[in-house]
């Protein structure tokens, strides 16, 4: 494949990340077909030039690349081998482009099965959020052999602001994303602690955030999630851009991976517990910036909780 105009891409999963990735590929000239179980997402995709399909198999039929934007390993299995699984109708030689974070072992198991049926896989988990997905400015860490890499490079180039091939086999991309998510999960938790403390000490949290972002304590997650943490106590909370239960999953992947190599990750483990507490409080579907409300359930204005 030399240019995206020669490529037909099926995007399965038109959620917070799948939809902007699909629309970005359309703007780069690819023929994009999409499927999602939620009709409103299909409607949004159609308005952006994505051809909506009634099933995953319909979307994947004749596709050069099947881009998967699923939530977890169970959805990956279902997308490929479930009742509407695309492997049954996927053309020989087609490539599965996995953009989700599902863990090393899950991807390697799927890679072996795909190889047996004559299909390739590119392990390419993404990072950066919906806005950057729509702009083609994601961090994409890739594990793929030479053939799979070549087959999908035009698609990857359109998706990524930073594209790093970290290894030549499936699972290598997941390993790098696992390291990335350790830092992201810890940084969000730390941002929540910092802004909760600022408020509890009687500081204006918006002013505190502005000051912190001007100094050595600044981080992407503090700047990004910090803004939404300022809205966490509003009625309805912050707009959901990344669900809290995504980090329940991802920090579970982090701590499981660390245990598999006998590496202690006490800070990551503590952050994982914070997300689990949020889930236990019924916050699994709210924005992950709501971790601040797990630490401080009510607004503190004078150094004490109301």
pLDDT at 107: 98
Average pLDDT over residues 3-24: 95
Give first-to-last CA distance, the chain, whole Å: 61
What pLDDT is attached to residue 298?
A: 80
In our burial notation (b when 16+ CB lie closer than 10 A, e otherwise), range 192-202 reads bbbbbebbbee
146 and 200 share one domain: no
Residue 248 belongs to domain spanning: 175-295
- Bridge partner residues of 165 (DSSP): 142
Say if residue 243 is in the same domain as residue 190: yes
Residues 15 and 66 in one domain: yes
For residue range 29-62, what is the model confidence (pLDDT) as tens digits?
Answer: 999 999 999 999 999 999 999 999 999 999 999 9
Which of the pair, 148 or 300, is modelled with greater confidence?
148
* Final residue belonging to a domain, choices 169, 190, 220: 169
* Candidate list 177, 249, 259, 304, residue with the active-site label: 177
The tally of domains found in the chain comes to 2
The whole-model pTM stands at 0.91
CATH number assigned to the domain comprising residue 226: 1.10.1040.10
Residue 303 lies in a domain: no
Point out the domain boundary residue: 154, 169, 184: 169
- Claim to verify: residue 128 and residue 188 sit in the same structural domain: no
Query: Could you give the count of Cα atoms lying within 13 Å of 200 in the half-sphere of its Cβ?
Result: 14
Residue 287 contacts residue 238 (beta carbons within 8 Å): yes
pLDDT digits (tens, 9 = 90+) for 67-126: 999 999 999 999 999 999 999 999 888 999 999 999 999 999 999 999 999 999 999 999
Whole-number percent of the chain with pLDDT over 70: 97
Phi, psi of 27 (to 5 degrees): -65, -20
247 found inside a domain: yes
pLDDT digits (tens, 9 = 90+) for 192-208: 999 999 999 999 999 99
Q: Does residue 163 lie within any of the structural domains?
A: yes
Residue 177 annotated in active site: yes
């Amino acid at each position: 494949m030399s240019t995206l105009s020669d490529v037909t891409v099926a995007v399965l999963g038109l959620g917070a990340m799948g939809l902007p990735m699909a629309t970005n590929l359309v703007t780069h000239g690819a023929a994009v077909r999409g499927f999602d179980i939620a009709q409103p997402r299909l409607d949004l995709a159609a308005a952006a030039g994505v051809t909506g399909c009634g099933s995953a198999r319909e979307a994947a039929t004749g596709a050069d690349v099947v881009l998967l934007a699923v939530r977890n390993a169970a959805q990956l299995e279902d997308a490929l081998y479930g009742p509407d699984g695309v492997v049954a109708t996927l053309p020989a030689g087609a490539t599965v482009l996995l953009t989700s974070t599902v863990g090393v072992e899950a991807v390697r198991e799927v890679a072996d099965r795909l190889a047996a049926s004559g299909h390739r896989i590119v392990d390419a988990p993404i990072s950066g959020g919906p806005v950057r997905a729509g702009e083609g400015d994601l961090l994409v860490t890739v594990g793929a052999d030479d053939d799979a890499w070549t087959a999908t490079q035009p698609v990857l180039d359109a998706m990524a602001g930073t594209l790093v091939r970290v290894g030549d086999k499936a699972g290598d991309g997941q390993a790098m994303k696992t390291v990335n998510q350790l830092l992201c999960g810890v940084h969000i938790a730390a941002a929540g602690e910092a802004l909760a403390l600022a408020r509890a000490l009687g500081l204006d949290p918006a002013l505190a955030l502005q000051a912190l972002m001007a100094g050595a304590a600044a981080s992407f997650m503090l700047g990004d999630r910090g803004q939404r943490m300022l809205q966490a106590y509003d009625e309805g909370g912050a707009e959901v851009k990344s669900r809290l239960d995504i980090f329940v999953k991802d920090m579970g992947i982090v701590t499981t991976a660390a245990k598999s190599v006998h590496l202690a990750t006490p800070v990551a483990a503590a952050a994982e517990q914070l997300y689990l507490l949020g889930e236990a409080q019924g916050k699994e579907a709210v924005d992950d910036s709501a971790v601040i409300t797990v630490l401080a359930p009510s607004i503190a204005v004078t150094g004490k909780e109301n």
